[in-house]
Amino acid sequence: MSKPLLEVADVEAGYGEALVLRGVSLTAFEAELVAIIGPNGAGKSTLLKVIYGLLRPTSGHVRYRTDDVTGVRPERLTRLGLNYVPQLGNVFPSLSIAENLLVGSVSLPRAERRPSVDDMYAQFPLLAERRRQRAGTLSGGQRKLLAIARALVTRPRALLLDEPSAGLSPQAVELVFDQLAEVKRRGIAIVMVEQNARRALSLADRGYVLDMGRNAYEGTGRSLLDDPKVTDLYLGSTIASSSTSTSAPSGINPPT
């Protein structure tokens, strides 16, 4: 069997004295969609922050393409092919769609930036039609598509997504998940924290259930959907999440 593209092993992490992750492990292979579900406070978003270098673990490690990248800074991970779409602050609202994509492409060599932006317009025709529109005037679903495109414009091999359906209408949710399926078909690995557990597992190759900062269950998306314990404990209703935001992406400053 091939080696994982991304591997998290026995990670412990938290904020100050509060330990959130208590020995969490996870693997993701190329072209695989991995869903992370669980109740509020389980450590799902914290896990993504650890993987993307936004939070340094107190123990354990993160490997990407066999290299130990534990604590490596986010901008370096982006250049290595690992990118992240936070739930909040994932676009520059005062910039146009075109400007957001151009800012996102700066991690690429100059000659590759425009072709990569053009690739995003081809993959997201809705964004191409509105390329001069300010991101702050987009609907929730359109803004989420732009956030995903901003991450994809860096040409990653693995994409981390935090609550991609949060705050969206049912129609917008379908639009976003259809695009995620297309991203997966292009061979990009996706590790996704998602409040809509049933929808996420139905799309996922594999899933992880976190509870109290620990791995509670792991298996294929289908096996977790069919597991009566998982259904009773975690799939009774859509897990609540916070609303969207218009602040700037984490760790990035818009051009002046």
pLDDT at 89: 86
pLDDT of the residue at 253: 38
Residue ranges covered by each domain of the chain:
6-87+156-234
Q: Work out the number of other CB atoms within 10 angstroms of the CB of residue 153.
A: 26
- What residues does 61 pair with on adjacent strands? 9
Q: In this predicted structure, what is the pLDDT of residue 58?
A: 97
Sort residue 193 into left (φ over 0), alpha (ψ -120 to 50) or beta: beta
Q: What is the pLDDT of residues 92-106, one digit of tens each?
A: 999 999 999 999 999
Rounded Cα gap, residues 126 and 107, in angstroms:
24
SS3 label, residue 95: coil
208 and 246 Cβ atoms separated by less than 8 Å? no
Q: What is the pLDDT of residue 1?
A: 61
Q: Which residues of the chain have pLDDT under 70?
A: 1, 237-256
How many other CB atoms sit within 10 Å of the CB of residue 16? Answer: 5
Q: How far is CA 33 from CA 149, 161, 206, 224, in A?
A: 17, 11, 7, 14
22-33 b/e (C-beta count within 10 Å ≥ 16 → b): bebebbbbebbb
From residue 107, alpha-carbon distances to 74, 82, 103, 127, 159 in Å are: 11, 12, 9, 21, 15
3-state secondary structure at position 101:
helix
SS3 83: strand
- Between CA 10 and CA 7 the distance in angstroms is 10
Question: Apex CA 6: angle with CA 17 and CA 212, to 5°?
Answer: 35
- Sort residue 157 into left (φ over 0), alpha (ψ -120 to 50) or beta: alpha
The pTM score is 0.90
Considering only CA atoms, which of 65, 70, 149, 153 is closest in space to residue 107? 153
Q: Does domain 6-87+156-234 have CATH number 1.10.4190.10?
A: no
- Sequence letter at residue 134: R
208 close to 214: Cβ distance less than 8 angstroms: no
Q: Which of 65, 53, 62 is nearest to 11 (CA)?
A: 62
